[in-house]
Chain A
Amino acid sequence: MKLVNELFFSLIFFIIVSACSQNQEMQTQSVPIKIGFLGPLTGSQAVYGQWGREGVEFANASNIKIIYEDSQCDPKVGLSAFTKLTELDNVDGIISSDCSSPTIAYGTVAQQKSIPVIVVAANSPIISNIGDFVFRIRYSSEQDGKALADFANKQGWKNLAILYQDNDAGRGYAAETKKNYQGTIVAEENYVLASASDVRVQLAKIQTRNPDVLVVLSQGDDGAVILKQIKEAGIKSPLLTSGTAFPQSTIAAAGASAEGLYTTVGMYESDQWQKGSEFKEKFNEQTGKNGAYFVALGYDAANLFSQIATTCGKDKTCIRTQLANTKLYEGASGEITFDEKGELITGSLRMRQWRNGSWNVVS
């Protein structure tokens, strides 16, 4: 009888243990991993945060839970939002659809805490060197600046002037352009975001140096006003800029002042990426909005985390390794493969020109 009892209780014990472990396994599978989203959701750079957010929301990645925080494009605010996400919400990864300065601030801490970060919007070259937990899925200012300088060199423009926003991103663009340009830099002017609505004096200074080409490196809302003021000042030099610094909404807001502008262009914007074209169509159909490059990048970042979560769960080191091993991932924004620094490996960028209300690829 004693033996029967022992067998009976052993059976019950195994059933309970087995049920518990099964339940735990089921819980691991059903509890979504948490991903923090950081970007400027308010302020003059909010467009970058909003685009990234739209893409993330469109991804419909049900196995990840996204917690959104507003960095206001400010390193201090971004860092405190990051601390909230990591300390209170215990997120397992970060999608940064943010400006360069806050991304550098919290990216460095994320590296120390071994939290994987996918950078969607920031383009400063400093981000490349933060560490192996930070991955960027857009092309960097290094690639952008080189493309601008190469184009100016090929056109035979001997004197170049630069006007850039004085922040990490703007300085990064300007440095890369200068590094690769073979002619003479005749003027280098900058402005801070707070005074971006009036750059007339900077333009007057540039005009006195009579450059063959003017490179304008702004981000966000200020681009349209700057283009208008360039035309009003009567500057006739060809204008060059980054395609991501001057998104389509800026071109539309600038109206006739954008005529003749050259920008860099990747495969997504030039409709040479089929998955990108399909994404744009689907996004437009469901939201009535145009899928800007940063929307597609937000979508890809969420999908990458979602895909990796099925393998890694909440294991951050595993997530990092899986991200580092990403090869030829066919995202909406393009093909994603990272180099040893976590930078997107991309083909060379092309140049396009805005003429009569449409883009023409010129190189």
Chain B
Amino acid sequence: MSSILAQLLLNGLIAGAIYALVAAGFSLICSVMKFMHFAHGGVVAAGAYFLFMFSQWFSPVPAILLALVTTVLFGVFMDWSVYKQLRKRHASNAVLLIASIGLMILTTNLILIGFGADVKTIPLAQHNPVYTILGARITLIQVVIIATSALLFGLLYYLMKCTRLGKALRAVADNNAIAQTVGINPSRMYLATFILGSALGGIAGMLIGLEQNLYPSMGLSLVIKGFTGAVIGGVTSVHGSILGALVLGMVENLGIWYLPSGYKDAIAFVLLFVFLLLKPEGILGKRFERG
């Protein structure tokens, strides 16, 4: 029984780490820009597909770097071509939200046109040894996912708390108008947010692509889980989102051990509704100010 419990906890940790990678980028953009960037799922899927494409031509390291750069450019292009134009027209958050859903659908269909509908495997993932820890089985890629997530979250914490850029981002997130009075350029911060958020999304996509195979609509299901994790942890807090995503992964995996398997998504959404009703700011988040 102890090995089963260890396996369930490990499964929860793996699922949580995957959700957290998506939630971190989503929450970063949401906290600074103050809108739900659902097209982040498209950026995650783009990261996976770019790695698939470049790994056909290059060895692993250049393929990963190229995929990361291209994904960041893709995310920044989304902001420049759609959101920035809408911001110039003083579009409301509702308009930005609708635009983000449109971009998500567009990205899915662009992937479908470019890569086809069938499932793809990144060739780098063919050799994936399995290890046993306390009776629980874990693959090399899963170890890499957990380790990379931990490293990225550490770096993100350092960036947000200890660097000028991080402080400026937090200032814009807290109060855009006051941030401008102390000389912070919001446009630059928005650009930096999309670069960082898309980089996180790209890394998430590449790791998930190595773990789970690729299909055009993968971004949508991932961003739903990322969003759910972010709401649980606090959508305005990057660290809260990571925590929320880990909680979501654990609760889902432990929950369906006792409940029929079909309830897995129901567990996630019950948790989402409980938080939306009782603690909408999430575990670590701050309330959105009405305005």
| Residues in chain A within 8 A of chain B (CB atoms) | 41-44, 46-47, 49-50, 166, 189-192, 194-195, 197-202, 204-205, 208, 220-221, 223-225, 228, 231-234, 249-250, 252-256
Which residues in B have their C-beta under 8 angstroms from that of A204?
A: 4, 7-8, 11, 257
Known: A42-B109, A190-B262. A234 touches B137 (CB 8 A): yes
Minimum distance in angstroms from A210 CB to a CB of chain B: 13
Closest to A46 in B: B117
- The CA of A49 and the CA of B216, in the complex, are separated in Å by 14
Asked if A201 contacts B119 (CB within 8 A), the reply is: no
Which residues in B have their C-beta under 8 angstroms from that of A232?
A: 128, 130, 137, 139
Known: A44-B216, A252-B121. 15 other contacts (CB 8 A): A41-B117, A42-B109, A42-B216, A189-B261, A191-B264, A195-B264, A198-B15, A201-B264, A202-B256, A202-B261, A204-B11, A205-B257, A221-B118, A232-B139, A234-B130
User: Is B120 in contact with chain A by the CB < 8 A criterion?
Assistant: yes
Minimum distance in angstroms from A49 CB to a CB of chain B: 7
| Residues in chain B within 8 A of chain A (CB atoms) | 4, 7-8, 11, 14-15, 108-109, 112, 116-121, 126, 128, 130, 137, 139, 212-213, 215-218, 221, 224, 253, 256-257, 260-262, 264-265
Asked if A224 contacts B262 (CB within 8 A), the reply is: no
Asked if A42 contacts B112 (CB within 8 A), the reply is: yes
Which residues in B have their C-beta under 8 angstroms from that of A44?
A: 215-218
Asked if B261 contacts A201 (CB within 8 A), the reply is: yes
Closest to A50 in B: B117
Closest to B7 in A: A204
Which residues in A have their C-beta under 8 angstroms from that of B265?
A: 192, 194-195
- The CA of A194 and the CA of B240, in the complex, are separated in Å by 24
Closest to A252 in B: B121
Which residues in B have their C-beta under 8 angstroms from that of A224?
A: 119, 121, 213
Which residues in A have their C-beta under 8 angstroms from that of B11?
A: 198, 200-201, 204
- The contact sample of 27 A-B pairs, CB cut-off 8 A, is A42-B117, A42-B217, A46-B216, A47-B119, A50-B116, A191-B264, A194-B224, A197-B212, A197-B218, A197-B221, A198-B11, A201-B253, A201-B257, A202-B256, A204-B7, A204-B8, A204-B257, A208-B4, A221-B119, A221-B215, A224-B121, A225-B212, A232-B130, A249-B118, A249-B119, A253-B118, A255-B121
Which residues in B have their C-beta under 8 angstroms from that of A231?
A: 130
Asked if B108 contacts A253 (CB within 8 A), the reply is: no
Asked if A46 contacts B256 (CB within 8 A), the reply is: no
Known: A42-B108, A253-B213. A192 touches B264 (CB 8 A): yes
Which residues in A have their C-beta under 8 angstroms from that of B118?
A: 47, 50, 221, 249, 253
- The CA of A265 and the CA of B218, in the complex, are separated in Å by 29
Known: A42-B217, A200-B11. A192 touches B130 (CB 8 A): no
Closest to A223 in B: B119
- The CA of A166 and the CA of B256, in the complex, are separated in Å by 15
Asked if A200 contacts B253 (CB within 8 A), the reply is: yes
How many cross-chain pairs have Cβ atoms below 8 Å apart between A and B? Answer: 102
Asked if A43 contacts B217 (CB within 8 A), the reply is: yes
Which residues in A have their C-beta under 8 angstroms from that of B217?
A: 42-44
Known: A200-B11, A234-B137. A253 touches B126 (CB 8 A): no
| One of B4, B117, B221 near A194 (C-beta < 8 A) | B221
- The CA of A198 and the CA of B253, in the complex, are separated in Å by 9
- The CA of A221 and the CA of B112, in the complex, are separated in Å by 13
Which residues in A have their C-beta under 8 angstroms from that of B4?
A: 204, 208
Which residues in A have their C-beta under 8 angstroms from that of B112?
A: 42, 46
Which residues in A have their C-beta under 8 angstroms from that of B216?
A: 42-44, 46
Which residues in A have their C-beta under 8 angstroms from that of B215?
A: 44, 221
User: Sorted from nearest, which 3 A-B pairs have the closest CB atoms?
Assistant: A46-B117, A221-B215, A221-B119
Closest to A163 in B: B261
Minimum distance in angstroms from A192 CB to a CB of chain B: 6
Minimum distance in angstroms from B211 CB to a CB of chain A: 8
- The CA of A265 and the CA of B213, in the complex, are separated in Å by 25
- The CA of A204 and the CA of B8, in the complex, are separated in Å by 8
- The CA of A224 and the CA of B264, in the complex, are separated in Å by 20
- The CA of A231 and the CA of B130, in the complex, are separated in Å by 9
Which residues in A have their C-beta under 8 angstroms from that of B264?
A: 191-192, 195, 201
